[in-house]
Amino acid sequence: MIVKHLELKNQYFRNITLDGITVKAFLNGLAGAGSEQCDFSKSTIRVILYRGGKPHVIMQNNLKILGLASSIDSLNQSAFASTLPVGMVLGANQSALLSFFIPFGGHINLRNDDEIYIEVENSAGLFTDNNLLAASYLEVKPKKSVGIEHYVPKINTFVIQANESSNQYMIGDNLIRLVVLNYDKPDFKNAVISTLTFSTDRLDEVWNFADLVANKLSRYGRQLIPLGNNDLAVDMQEDQSFVITDFGQEFDAVNLDINFNAANVTASSNYIVAWTYDTSMEIIQKAVETQKKHDSKTMDKLKKSPSLKS
């Protein structure tokens, strides 16, 4: 689905298996030189599963929140940098591409009358240079996958208010990924978070700011490099965005207690993004039946294998 400047578009998809949404920003300087920077907060997306006549909202937010939350500690994080090095400008007739992936954390099997609805609306300011407006656009589409559906995912966002000193966030059950976002801190100075307590049915842990930074750097496989009086972190911007728990782990009864350095908490710059899911007996039964069919086919292949006959 191609969405241009100031456009709103939507599309339905059926009879596919998907595990997320891909976003590509094509920047074209056909009308003259322009900045490569994109402000993805100016593009909103809604993804809804319609099943049995009922809507299930999977995600509904701007692409900066969803995209950055999906890209922390990866090279894709650079697509959301609030500043870019000098010289990152397209010349006339030049083009560039920014891309990222928003994962669901599982597969959705669209069967029978199931539909996935995707809606994208681009507002003024997405393409930050007027020379790029006419020929630049977003391409948004589902990422097809191979796998068995075990649940319907949901991506929820909690806003951290300006000058917050402490707060508790009730995340609930079926948590499969959790991140804390920050937009306005390009390094590890002026810490936003003082301590973060992660309480669940299976794990209780307390991290201070140094713990969060160490965990982040370990995901990159590098260490903090001193540079004069500054900290050169990972050169990705938004360096105080942290992954708290990632796909592959699941927690229930999740509560977050966070103590902030209130003076460093600015408005519209800090969020919590949680991947959770809903499931049902019908979904689980279909998953079990599908897995049995796959196992049966695998056994048939093994029985026919020449190596087993010798």
**94 domain-assigned:** yes
Task: Tell me 78's DSSP state.
Answer: G
How far apart CA 273 and CA 276 sit, in angstroms, is: 10
CATH number at residue 31: 2.70.9
pLDDT at res. 216: 85
Residues 14 and 138 in one domain: yes
Q: Up-side HSE of residue 48: CA atoms within 13 Å toward CB?
A: 15
Q: What is the pLDDT of residues 116-159, one digit of tens each?
A: 999 999 999 998 878 778 888 999 999 999 999 999 999 999 99
Give the range of the structural domain holding residue 188, as residue numbers without chain letter: 151-278
Task: Tell me 251's DSSP state.
Answer: B
Residues 131 and 40 in one domain: yes
Residues 145 and 159 in one domain: no
Which ranges constitute the DSSP H helices of the chain? 63-71, 209-220, 281-304, 306-309
Q: Is residue 223 within 8 Å of residue 234, measured between CB atoms?
A: no
**293 domain-assigned:** no
Using alpha carbons only, give the angle 170, 174, 177 rounded to the nearest 5 degrees: 80
**80 domain-assigned:** yes
Which of the given ranges, 29-38, 199-208, 290-299, has the highest pLDDT on average?
199-208
Rg (CA), the chain: 22
Q: Up-side HSE of residue 182: CA atoms within 13 Å toward CB?
A: 23
How far apart CA 283 and CA 220 sit, in angstroms, is: 36
**246 domain-assigned:** yes
**228 domain-assigned:** yes
Nearest C-alpha neighbor of 188 from the set 122, 233, 252, 147? 233
Distance set, CA 65 to CA 12, 39, 97, 180 (Å)? 23, 11, 19, 10
Which of the given ranges, 84-98, 148-162, 288-302, has the highest pLDDT on average?
148-162
How far apart CA 33 and CA 15 sit, in angstroms, is: 43
Q: What is the pLDDT of residues 43-78, one digit of tens each?
A: 999 999 999 989 999 999 999 999 999 998 887 887
Section 4-26 average pLDDT:
96
CATH number at residue 202: 2.60.120
How far apart CA 160 and CA 202 sit, in angstroms, is: 26
**287 domain-assigned:** no
Residues 117 and 163 in one domain: no
Three-state DSSP class for 212? helix
**244 domain-assigned:** yes
Provide the domain count of the chain. Answer: 2
The region, left, alpha or beta by phi > 0 then psi within -120 to 50, assigned to residue 113 is: alpha
How far apart CA 159 and CA 170 sit, in angstroms, is: 13
Sign of CA pseudo-dihedral 250, 289, 153, 141: positive
Residues 74 and 95 in one domain: yes
Q: What is the pLDDT of residues 156-176, one digit of tens each?
A: 999 999 999 999 999 999 999
Phi, psi of 135 (to 5 degrees): -110, 0
Among residues 121, 150, 179, the one where a domain terminates is 150
Residues 71 and 197 in one domain: no
Residues 67 and 77 in one domain: yes
Decide if pLDDT at 14 tops 50: yes
**291 domain-assigned:** no
